[in-house]
Amino acid sequence: MIWRLAVLLLPITALAQTWPGTHPITVVMGFPAGSGVDVVARLLQEPMEKSLGGRLVMDYRTGAGGNLASEVVAKARPDGYTILLGTAATHGVNAALYRRLPFDVEADFTPIAPLVNVSNVLTVNPNVIDASTLKEFIEKVKANPGKYNYASTGNGTGTHLAFAELVSRAGLNMVHVPYKGGPEALASVVSGQTCCIMNQVQTVQSQWKAGRVRLLGVTTATRVPAIPEIPTIAEAGVPGYESITWFGLFGPKGLDKAIVDRINAAVKAALETPSVRERLAQLGNTPRWEDPAKFRQTVKSDRAKWAEVVKAVGATID
């Protein structure tokens, strides 16, 4: 396209003065349409477009725990037209889980802003494992070592490690079955192919309300306002357990500060919108905003934290 050629001929500093203009901003994500990541992106899309004066286009590059999407952005031109919707998994877990990555999760990206903190919840199919509490779940699994399979949204994702940590802390013998994303993983639980999953609250709510699954415990240290009747895993029988994740935006390394600041401000404005905050609360997500410098520190500290978790639970890529 003519505009793409024009963009390539302009220096980055000149682009920052007119960005975004009439050109769409591609938001690359490593998880499929309908996943928790996508739901948050769609919720923030309209208010962010208003703030930026430009159009956001979603580009789904699923696979490898979000690494395919991350690689696309890491190798993109830092012109502000290609950004990543990453997670604590893509920028914390994967560096410890994968021996070789075609990018550095810190050096090859420009942190822009976090979006939300996300709580997962232990979700079970009662037709596969008839447990109404976490203690009952643990008792039944221990009585049948190796019998039950748990699903995840992919190797090394937050749902995988959250469950792996539960397995480790509770001394369970279960089989991990990774899927390419949230919809497929949850479908496997609902259909009975797997017994359970540690999935995002927003993803499982409709199935729970329809009576197809049971919720036994949330992964956060405190209960989630969207489902206040569900205890934390720590209070339900596994003391000390806690696992949270986040979603956030990244650009390629070298992204102009003026562009970074504009996107960061658009995120802040979107998260302060009452209707957005209300919907996020209903989904079980907590708005999270930080300036770019603070977000960079978050990525660095989370990388170290998840490295310890990966080592402790012995998580590996199949």
Assign 159 a pLDDT band (cuts: 50, 70, 90): confident
Q: At 265, list the tokens.
A: 């401000």
Q: At 172, list the tokens.
A: 């369970």
**d(Cα 250, Cα 70) in Å, to the nearest integer?**
9
Return the number of other C-beta atoms located less than 10 Å from residue 200's C-beta.
Answer: 28
Q: What's the pLDDT score for residue 8?
A: 53
Q: What's the pLDDT score for residue 158?
A: 80
Which pTM value belongs to this model? 0.82
**d(Cα 224, Cα 282) in Å, to the nearest integer?**
10
pLDDT of 318 > 60? The answer is: no
pLDDT of 11 > 60? The answer is: no
Could you report the per-residue pLDDT of 33-72, keeping only the tens digit for each? 988 899 999 999 999 999 999 999 999 999 888 899 999 9
pLDDT of 181 > 80? The answer is: no
Could you report the per-residue pLDDT of 264-274, keeping only the tens digit for each? 999 999 999 99
- Which domains occur in the chain, in start order? 2-117+245-313 (3.40.190.150), 119-236 (3.40.190.10)
Q: What's the pLDDT score for residue 175?
A: 96
Is 315:156 a contact under the CB 8 Å cutoff? yes
Q: How many helices (H) and strands (E) does the chain have?
A: 13, 10
Assign 144 a pLDDT band (cuts: 50, 70, 90): very high
Nearest CA to 149 among 166, 174, 118, 112? 174
pLDDT of 306 > 90? The answer is: no
pLDDT of 291 > 90? The answer is: yes
- The residue type of 205 is Q
